[in-house]
């Protein structure tokens, strides 16, 4: 019997393993006891640590703890102090293993937990702590003490670190995040707004750190790997403007829904009363190098290698998958039909792999995430396969999952869509279309046995989609 689920999970995990922080940083960093070398596949940077009086660590994002653990283990006693911000666990889970917390604490590195995807009071506390560290580094440098800060950035940093600008409450900023998420705003749009409501994002952290030196290593969780979008670009110039921010609220008809404090700030920004975020050429970036070390591309290429090892003919669609999750699923279901009918674009055994990040426009009251929503839409399409190929549904499996192991506010990475799920749904009189209309994908797959639970992976480079046809 074909075990398509085992194959799909193996392919997915091969991609995830390629971008695990320990593996990435082993490739990107080397240290000979004096000189730290950083490499991003194109450029190398060298730092003679004997020349620095203080070496600081700032890490934030879903992969912050394993990234910080690797750096501290590599540099041993060279780290003077630091702050690490990670995602608070769901329920009663544990975000940080005690041994990791102890290892970091021994180097005066404080671990803080914060909310995601909506910032909370802990996110604000984390932002204050990181900005304080940057300001201290700046003052030490100005007083003649040479300082290097190593900044480790990964996906989720935008929510985990919140520094509301003057006049904006954390509650108002969180309310805007919820409004945009409910409208299906993209991560690029969310981060454009966040940068203009913050005193940390959009290059402002770099401005706080200047003139101290910095090395930022970045794990990308966004399409196109734009450094000014990842974690809202705290260490790089910001290309977005006040006009871009205003246009986003207009696009989703939210001008009347947002808090007055935010509407007022946008008006002041458009009028030139509040400066733009730092742009290219700003002195804040003269002594700060930002390097991209891990992306969705690395993950899907490794996933393809695993699929080929398992005997599949492969096609990689790239890393640009975006749009409404349920609509993207129909593209994959259409591809499955063509493979069965015509052997196009591949003849079986076929594996199509894609990466990216889709969105969900929330209309119902259910629970789920973009990956489970996409898989549920595929199940609905599978149910409607025409008579000529309906009897071949056992040959098909679709998996959509997040590389961080966490899809939306659930404990699942994503979900499998296959004949087994559909059969169980029919046996239990569960209508995929009704669950989809209520955005209740998690309950559907929990009831039909289709959830993929990996636990937190310690990394985050967007999502991976896998279509298998045997």
The 10s digit of each residue's pLDDT in 167-194 is 999 899 889 989 998 898 988 899 899 9
Q: Which residues pair with 350 in a beta bridge?
A: 313, 469
The 10s digit of each residue's pLDDT in 100-128 is 999 999 999 999 999 987 788 999 999 99
End-to-end CA distance of the chain: 11
Give the mean pLDDT of 433-451. Answer: 99
Give CA–CA dist 226/246, Å, rounded. Answer: 21
Give the mean pLDDT of 90-99. Answer: 73
Q: Is 386 exposed, middle or buried (0-12, 13-18, 19+ CB in 10 A)?
A: exposed
Among 157-166, 177-186, 256-265, top mean pLDDT goes to: 256-265
Per-residue pLDDT band for 89 (boundaries 50, 70, 90) equals: confident
Q: Which residue has the higher pLDDT, 238 or 88?
A: 238
Give the mean pLDDT of 125-140. Answer: 98
pLDDT recorded at residue 91: 58
Q: Enumerate domains of the chain plus CATH numbers.
A: 4-9+297-469 (3.40.1480.10), 20-163+198-240+277-294 (3.40.50.10180)
Q: Is the pLDDT of residue 92 over 60?
A: no
pLDDT recorded at residue 252: 97
Give CA–CA dist 312/367, Å, rounded. Answer: 34
pLDDT recorded at residue 1: 36
Of 229, 234, 231, 167, the closest CA to residue 201 belongs to 234
Give the mean pLDDT of 236-256. Answer: 97
Give the pair of three-digit tokens for residue 394: 């056992």
Per-residue pLDDT band for 394 (boundaries 50, 70, 90) equals: very high
Q: Is the pLDDT of residue 315 over 60?
A: yes
pLDDT recorded at residue 105: 97
Give the mean pLDDT of 214-219. Answer: 98
Q: Is the pLDDT of residue 429 over 80?
A: yes
% residues pLDDT > 70 (the chain): 98
Q: Is the pLDDT of residue 434 over 50?
A: yes
């Amino acid at each position: 019997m074909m075990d398509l689920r085992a194959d799909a999970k193996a392919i997915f995990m091969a991609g995830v393993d390629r971008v695990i922080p320990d593996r990435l940083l082993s490739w990107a960093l080397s240290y000979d006891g004096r000189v730290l070398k950083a490499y991003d596949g194109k450029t190398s940077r060298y730092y003679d640590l004997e020349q620095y009086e203080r070496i600081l660590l700032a890490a934030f994002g879903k992969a912050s703890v394993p990234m910080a653990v690797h750096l501290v283990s590599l540099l041993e006693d060279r780290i003077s102090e630091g702050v690490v911000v990670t995602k608070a666990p769901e329920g009663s889970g544990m975000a940080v293993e005690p041994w990791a917390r102890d290892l970091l604490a021994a180097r005066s590195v404080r671990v803080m937990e914060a909310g995601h995807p909506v910032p909370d009071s802990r996110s604000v506390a984390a932002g204050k702590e990181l900005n304080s560290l940057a300001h201290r580094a700046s003052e030490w440098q100005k007083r003649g003490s040479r300082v290097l800060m190593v900044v480790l950035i990964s996906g989720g940093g935008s929510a985990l670190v919140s520094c509301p600008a003057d006049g904006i409450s954390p509650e108002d900023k969180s309310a805007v995040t919820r409004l945009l998420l409910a409208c299906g705003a993209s991560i690029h749009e969310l981060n454009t707004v966040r940068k203009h409501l913050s005193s940390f994002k959009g290059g402002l952290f770099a401005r706080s750190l200047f003139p101290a030196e910095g090395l930022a290593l970045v794990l990308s969780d966004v399409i196109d790997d734009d450094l000014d979008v990842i974690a809202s670009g705290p260490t790089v110039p910001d290309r977005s403007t006040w006009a871009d921010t205003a246009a986003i609220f207009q696009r989703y008809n939210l001008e009347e829904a947002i808090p007055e404090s935010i509407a007022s700030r946008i008006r002041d920004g458009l009028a030139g009363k509040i400066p733009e975020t730092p742009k290219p050429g700003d002195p804040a970036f003269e002594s700060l190098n930002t390097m991209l070390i891990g992306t969705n591309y690395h993950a899907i290429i490794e996933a393809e290698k695993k699929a080929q090892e398992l005997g599949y003919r492969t096609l990689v669609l790239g890393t640009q998958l975006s749009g409404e999750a349920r609509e993207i699923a129909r593209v994959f279901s259409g591809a499955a039909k063509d493979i069965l009918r015509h052997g196009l674009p591949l003849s079986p055994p076929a594996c199509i792999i894609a990466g990216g990040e889709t969105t969900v426009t929330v209309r119902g009251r259910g629970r789920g995430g973009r990956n489970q929503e996409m898989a549920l839409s595929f199940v609905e399409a599978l149910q409607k396969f025409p008579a000529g190929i309906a009897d071949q549904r056992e040959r098909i499996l679709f998996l959509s999952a997040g590389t961080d192991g966490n899809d939306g506010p659930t404990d699942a990475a994503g979900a499998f869509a296959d004949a087994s799920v559909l059969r169980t749904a029919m046996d239990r009189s569960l209508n995929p279309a009704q669950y989809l209309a209520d955005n209740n994908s998690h309950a559907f797959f929990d009831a039909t046995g289709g959830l993929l639970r990996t636990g937190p992976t310690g990394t985050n480079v967007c999502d991976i989609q896998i279509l298998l046809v045997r």
